[in-house]
């Protein structure tokens, strides 16, 4: 196809792609970019301020949460002194009661601080806080997929208020991650308790910068002495925009397959359902903007914020040429494909 970059000059046998991960990053060597966010988060933690990482699905919130625990060079970021990170993956507690949640919390604290086992009851929270203070360790609680925890009916509403009191009394910063829009509604009904929510400062996790995107896609291949060509890099960016998830996927298929057509086919086989998902959750006015209603500056700014649109020196464009192709090649679009089912 004429708009495709040239075929790569060489095709290497399959040796394993360094871009195969689709889950959150756990290995420091696989983590790139997000320096601005890390600086902000560490800064807030140092000030004992709790915060809330919000962003769309698959933007790397969980990876960022994991990255807080990675070893860091001195002076790289403002760092808390003697940190003791406690990690709650809410997915494990979608129907657990408070006691199980606390048991998991205390078992981590006991392990990290070589502390005695605390009873899994609220009353032990001050005891654990006091122990950490006495041991001169800074407790930092990281909670991933927080919306799952909030939706758990077995956790009493006032529990979150107790957490706030604990966080404030013992100066324990909480870092919470959940998808944007997944929880705000629940807060209005006081299920979480605005008291808890009020102590959190928002940190938005959006698309990566151009430089970070390049770092993410070029470094792993270069580390294997199989650097991407400029055409490869152009292709990957043209398919993934500044979205770490799609960039990773585009880099993966560009790295594995030798022909452009095959790379594109393989990429689309995997990315298509995710593109569809993006379409399906886009608000109507943002969809309208993408379909040509350019007079809605609010929709435009939302799309830029989410990374669906990219604005740079070349102007404004959709984050992925293949996402654009979906609209152009199939003017029916996702929504209208669905409608086509009953308009007969």
Q: Is 209 exposed, middle or buried (0-12, 13-18, 19+ CB in 10 A)?
A: middle
| Strand runs labelled E in 111-204 | 138-144, 174-179, 200-204
Q: Residue 224, interface with other proteins (CB under 8 A)? A: no
For residues 289 and 296, the answer to whether their CB atoms sit within 8 Å is: yes
- Point out which span in 2-10, 144-152, 218-226, 233-241 binds other proteins (CB under 8 A): 144-152
Shortest spacing between CB 271 and other proteins, in angstroms:
9
Nearer to other proteins, 222 or 338 (CB): 338
Pattern 177-196, binding to other proteins, x per CB under 8 A? -------xx--xx-------
Q: Residue 342, interface with other proteins (CB under 8 A)? A: yes
CA dihedral 65, 286, 273, 146 (to 10 degrees): 30
Nearer to other proteins, 35 or 274 (CB): 274
The Cβ-side half-sphere exposure at 24, using a 13 Å CA radius, reads 15
For residues 251 and 19, the answer to whether their CB atoms sit within 8 Å is: yes
Q: Residue 82, interface with other proteins (CB under 8 A)? A: no
Output helix, strand, coil percentages for the chain, rounded to the nearest 5: 50, 10, 40
Q: 47-68 burial string, b = 16+ CB within 10 Å, else e?
A: eebbbbbbbbebbbbbbbbbbb
Q: Which of residues 245-284 bind other proteins (CB under 8 A)?
A: 256, 266, 269-270, 273-274, 276-277, 280-281, 283-284
Shortest spacing between CB 272 and other proteins, in angstroms:
8
Which residues contact other proteins by CB under 8 A? 14, 16-17, 20-24, 26-27, 57-58, 62, 89, 91-92, 94-96, 100, 145, 148, 151, 184-185, 188-189, 256, 266, 269-270, 273-274, 276-277, 280-281, 283-284, 335, 338, 341-342, 344
């Amino acid at each position: 196809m004429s708009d495709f970059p040239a075929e790569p000059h060489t095709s290497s046998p399959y040796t394993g792609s360094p871009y195969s991960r689709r889950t959150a990053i756990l290995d420091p060597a696989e983590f790139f970019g997000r320096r601005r966010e890390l600086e902000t988060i560490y800064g807030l933690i140092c000030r004992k301020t709790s915060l809330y990482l919000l962003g769309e699905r698959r933007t790397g919130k969980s990876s960022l949460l994991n990255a807080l625990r990675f070893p860091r060079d001195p002076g790289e970021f403002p760092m808390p002194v003697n940190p003791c990170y406690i990690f709650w993956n809410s997915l494990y507690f979608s129907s657990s009661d408070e006691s199980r949640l606390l048991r998991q919390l205390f078992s981590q604290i006991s392990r990290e601080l070589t502390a005695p086992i605390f009873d899994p009851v609220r009353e032990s929270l001050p005891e654990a806080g006091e122990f950490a203070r006495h041991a001169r360790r800074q407790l930092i609680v990281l909670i991933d997929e927080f919306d799952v925890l909030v939706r758990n009916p077995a956790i009493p509403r006032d529990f979150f208020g107790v957490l706030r009191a604990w966080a404030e009394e013992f100066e324990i910063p909480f870092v919470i991650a959940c998808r944007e829009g997944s929880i705000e509604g629940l807060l209005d009904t006081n299920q979480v308790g605005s008291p808890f929510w009020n102590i959190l400062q928002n940190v938005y996790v959006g698309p990566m910068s151009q430089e970070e995107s390049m770092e993410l896609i070029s470094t792993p291949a270069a580390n294997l002495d199989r650097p991407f060509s400029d055409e490869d890099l152009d292709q990957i960016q043209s398919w993934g925009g500044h979205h770490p998830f799609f960039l990773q996927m585009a880099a993966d298929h560009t790295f594995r397959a030798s022909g452009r057509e095959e790379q594109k086919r393989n990429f689309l086989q995997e990315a298509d359902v995710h593109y569809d998902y993006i379409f399906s959750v886009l608000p109507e006015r943002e969809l309208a903007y993408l379909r040509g209603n350019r007079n809605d500056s609010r929709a435009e700014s939302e799309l830029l914020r989410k990374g669906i649109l990219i604005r740079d020196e070349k102007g404004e464009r959709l984050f992925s040429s293949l996402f654009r192709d979906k609209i152009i090649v199939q003017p029916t679009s996702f929504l209208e494909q669905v409608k086509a089912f009953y308009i007969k």
